[in-house]
Amino acid sequence: MSDRTTGDKTGSRLWTRLDFVVAFFCVVTIAVILLINLPGATDYVGVDNDDVMRLVQVRDLLAGQSWFDLTQYRLGLDGGTLMHWSRLVDLPIAALILAFSFVLPAERAEAAALLVWPVLLILPLLAAVAVGARRIGGLPAMPIALGLAALLAVTSNRFLPGAIDHHNVQLVLVAVIAAMLVDPRHKPASFALAGLAAALAIAIGAETSPFVAAACLVVAVLWAWHGSGFAPAARAFALTVTIAISALFFATVPPRLYTMAACDSLSISYYGITAVGGLLLLVTVQLASNASRRTRFLVLMADGAAVLAAALILAPQCLQNPLNDLDPLLVTLWLDFVIEAQSILQQLRVEPASLGGFYAVGFFAIVVCLLRIIRDDRRETHAILLTLILVSWLIALIQLRGAVFANLLSILPLSLLIAELRRNAREDPENMGAGFAFAVTTLLAVPSVWLLVGVFATEGTAGITQRMKGSVGPATSSQDCETAAGLRQLGALPPTTVVAPSNAGSEILRFTAHRVLSAPYHRNQGGMLTELHIGLATPAEAVAFLRGAGATVIAYCGTDPQTETIRELKPDGLYAALERGEVPTYLEPLPRDPESGLALYRMRY
C-alpha cells in the first residue's frame, strides 16, 4: 500500500512538471502525425508549392549560391526572380540535409531532413503554449491547452512531414510572443524573449508584421499604464527588438539592397520602422517612467506619431497589402484562386462550409476575452490576448492566411475557460448542465469540429464522406503534370526555357534542370504574365511571346485549373487550340509519355 501511494504521488508530481507534460504531448503528437501521414506518403516534400520552392532555394544554397543572393535564376524572364524568403529558414534545413548526407545518399538525406524539420518545431510550439497556459490558468489549463495545440498541429498542414515553408516557424514565434506577454510578473527575461521573437518574425516573413505591431503596442501600453513598475520589462523588450532587428537586417540583407524598400520581406522599410519604434520606446522608458500616467500616455502618443512618420517617409507603400500592386490579369487568373489570399467574402462564395473552421474559434475567443474584461476577471491578461487575437482575426477577414494564427492564439483564453468548466463539472458531477457546458465548450474550441459541422450543415454526410475520400484518394490527372513520373520526359530534354502552368513551375525547378517562366510567386509578375499571354494569344500572336521569352518548349497540361480557365476565357487562344489538337506549324509535338499528363511541344527555329 505504501509503495502504491508513493508511486501515485510520484506520478501526480510528474504531471505538474512543465518539461514532462510538454515532452509527453510532443511525443504523442509527433507519433500521431507520422502514423497518419507516412504510410500513404508518395513524396517527401509537402503538398504546398512553397514547400517545393523552399527546397529548390535550399538546394541552391547548398550548391554554393551566396547567402546574400536570393535570386532564383531559373525562374521568370532573363535575370531570374529575386525571391522574398529569408535565409533564416533555409539555414536549419540546409544544415539537416548536410548532416544526414554524411550517412545517407543525397535524396534520402533530403527526405530525412524534410521529415525531421517540421515535426521538430512541434516541441517549441507546445512549450510556448504550455508556458502561456500555465501563466494565465495555472496547472489545470496547461494540459488542455496542449491538447488543443496538438490537435491544431495534427489537423493543419503546417507541421506535417515535408512542410518546410516558413509558416510553421512563424506559428512558433507567434506562440512564444503571446506566452511571454502574458507573464503576470512582467519579468524582463520574458519580454526580452518576446522582443527577440518579434524581430525574428519580421525577418522571416512580412505576414506577421501586423501581429508584431500589435505586440509592440501591447508592451508600450502596459508601460504607459504601469509606469516604473513595468520599466524593466519594457526596457528589455525595446532593447532586444532594436538590437535583434539590426543584427538580422545586416546578417540577411545584401549591402546592394540596403536602400530598397520592400514590403514583403525584411528591408530598410521594416528595419527602419522597427528600429525607430524600439529606440523611441527605450528612450521614453528611461526618461518618463516616473511621470504621471496621463503624461506617459501623451508621450506614448507622440512616439506613435513619430513611428507613423517614419513609416510614411521610409515606405508609405507598405501601409497597404503588398499584393495590391499586382497586374489585374494576375489577380483574375491567379490570385483569386489562391485560397490563403482569399477574403471571407470570396470564401463564402467558393466554399461556405469551411468558414467555421477559419473564423469561429477566433470569434469565440474574442467574445470570451471581452466578457472577462467586462467582468474584471484577469482583465489585463485578457486585454493582451484580445488585442493579439483580434488583429490576427481581422487580418483573416482580408486574407485567410491569418486564420491559423487567430486559432492558435485562441487556445490560451479558451483553455482557461475549459479548465474552469471542467472544475465545475467535477465539483458537481450530478449537475448535467455543468458537464454539458464543459463538453460543448471543448468541442467549440477545435477548428476542425467547426469545419465538420459546416460541411455537414451545407452538404450532409455525403459531403463529409466525399472529403474523406479526397484526402486519401489518388492524385488527380492534373497532378500528373507535377510529379516526378509526370516530368520525367521533360527532364530528359536538354536544359531550356519552358512554358508551363504556374502550378507546375516549382516542381519543374525541382525535378529538372530547365528554366521555367512561371511559378506562383508575386515577384515573378513578368514571367507569369508572359505565360498567361502565351496561352491567351492566338497561335499566330503567341509565337512572338515565345521568341521574346526565349522559350523553346511548351509543357501543356490540359487538366491544370488555370489552363482550363484560360481556354474558357479565350477559345481562340493557343491553349484552346492545343486542346483541340490544332498545333501551329512553329511547334513540333513530341511523343506523349503515357505516365504524364503533359503534352510537350518544341519550337521549330
Q: Classify residue 574: in a domain, yes or no.
A: yes
Q: Which residues of the chain have pLDDT under 70?
A: 1-12, 461-479
Helical (H) or strand (E) element with 588? strand 587-589
Which of helix, strand or coil describes residue 555? strand
Q: Which of 473, 489, 508 is the last residue of a domain?
A: 473
Residues 403, 503: one domain? Answer: no
Closest by CA to 171, choosing from 190, 156, 191, 184, is: 156
pLDDT, residue 461, reads 67
**CA 480 – CA 560 distance, rounded (Å):** 10
Q: Are residues 462 and 331 in the same domain?
A: yes
User: Edge to edge, what strands does the sheet with 497-499 contain?
Assistant: 515-516, 497-499, 553-557, 598-603, 587-589
- Give the C-alpha separation, 501 to 496, whole Å: 16
Contact (Cβ atoms closer than 8 angstroms) between residue 248 and residue 195: no
Q: What is the pLDDT of residue 466?
A: 62
Please compute Rg for the chain using Cα positions: 26
8 Å CB contact between 130 and 19:
no
Query: Residues with Cβ < 8 Å from 192, sequence gap 6 or more?
Result: 236, 237, 239, 240
Report d(CA 154, CA 1) in Å as an integer: 40
- How far apart CA 89 and CA 87 sit, in angstroms, is 5
Residue 359 covered by a domain: yes
Last residue of a domain, one of 441, 457, 473: 473
Q: Is residue 26 part of a domain?
A: no
Q: Do 390 and 327 fall within a single domain?
A: yes
Residues 487 and 368 in one domain: no
**Helix, strand, or coil (residue 120):** helix
What digits encode the pLDDT tens for the residues 362-411? 999 999 999 999 999 999 999 999 999 999 999 999 999 999 999 999 99
pTM for this structure?
0.93
Predicted local distance difference test score (pLDDT) of residue 532: 97
Q: Are residues 332 and 423 in the same domain?
A: yes
CATH of the domain at 508: 3.40.50
With contact defined as beta carbons under 8 Å apart, do 54 and 85 qualify? yes
Please answer whether residues 228 and 278 qualify as being in contact, where contact means their C-beta atoms are separated by less than 8 angstroms: no
State the CB neighbour count (10 A cutoff) for residue 101: 16
What amino acid is encoded at 375 in this protein?
Answer: R
Residues 6+ apart with CB under 8 A from 214: 387, 388, 391
Domain that holds residue 368: 323-473
pLDDT at 1: 47
Domain boundary among 473, 497, 513: 473
CB 173 within 8 A of CB 200: yes
Residues 365 and 433 in one domain: yes
Q: Give CA–CA dist 498/500, Å, rounded.
A: 6
Are 489 and 587 found together in one domain? Answer: yes
- Domain assignment present for residue 438? The answer is yes
Residues 327 and 469 in one domain: yes
Q: How many domains does the chain have?
A: 2
Residue 509, judged by CB atoms within 10 A of its CB (0-12, 13-18, 19+), counts as buried
Whether the Cβ atoms of residue 204 and residue 89 lie closer than 8 Å to each other: yes
Q: Say if residue 482 is in the same domain as residue 404.
A: no
Within a domain: 38 = no
Tell me: do 459 and 482 sit in the same domain: no
- What pLDDT, in 10s, does the model give residues 477-529? 345 898 999 999 999 999 999 999 999 999 999 999 999 999 999 999 999 99
Residue 588 lies in a domain: yes
Which letter, b or e, does each residue of 388-412 get, where b requires 16 or more Cβ atoms within 10 Å of its Cβ? bbbbbbebbbebbbbbbbbbbbbbb
Beta-bridge mates of residue 540: none
Q: How far apart are CA 34 and CA 119, in angstroms?
A: 9
- Amino acid letter, 510: R
| pLDDT value, residue 502 | 94
pLDDT at 458: 75
CA-CA-CA-CA torsion for 326, 215, 360, 346, nearest 10 degrees?
A: -10
The C-alpha atoms of residue 403 and residue 357 are separated, in whole angstroms, by 9
* 540 and 577 belong to one structural domain: yes
Quote the pLDDT of residue 108: 96
Read off the amino acid at residue 199: A
Give yes or no: residues 359 and 415 share one domain. yes
Task: Examine residue 488 and state whether it is found in any structural domain, yes or no.
Answer: yes
* Cβ neighbours of residue 355 closer than 8 Å, sequence gap 6 or more: 344, 347, 348, 454
Position 5 scores a pLDDT of: 52
